[in-house]
Amino acid sequence: MKIDAVLVSKVARLASLEISPEETEELAGQLTRIVEHFEELRKIPDEELPGAPDRPSTPLRLDRAVAGRDLSFAEGNAPEFAHEHFVVPRVVSRND
């Protein structure tokens, strides 16, 4: 399968990544080559494949409250922190 610049741009948008036009072209070539190699998996006939992956289920833990962490850790690592909260950019603007 060929991955073209349009598809790279679409996937980059989904992944919240900005890619320059030059990078987009280069990535399109690299990803096409990689995905073409991955077409190998199609050689296995469908009837040989299990209906669903047989991964073990993740064990669940008890729903029990535990003590939280000191907020100084969050504050020390946050780009912006005020009044015991992370400061986030405006999500909805006046015009929205």
Residue numbers at the binding site for other proteins (CB under 8 A): 3, 7-8, 10-12, 14-19, 27, 30-31, 33-35, 37-38, 40-42, 44, 48-50, 52-55, 58-61, 69-70, 73-74, 76-80, 86, 88-91, 93
- Which residue is listed with tokens 């690299």? 30
Q: How far is the CB of 32 from other proteins (least distance, A)?
A: 10
* Smallest distance from other proteins to CB 65, Å: 14
Nearer to other proteins, 21 or 59 (CB): 59
Q: Which residues contact 3 (CB under 8 A, 6 or more apart)?
A: 28, 31, 32, 35
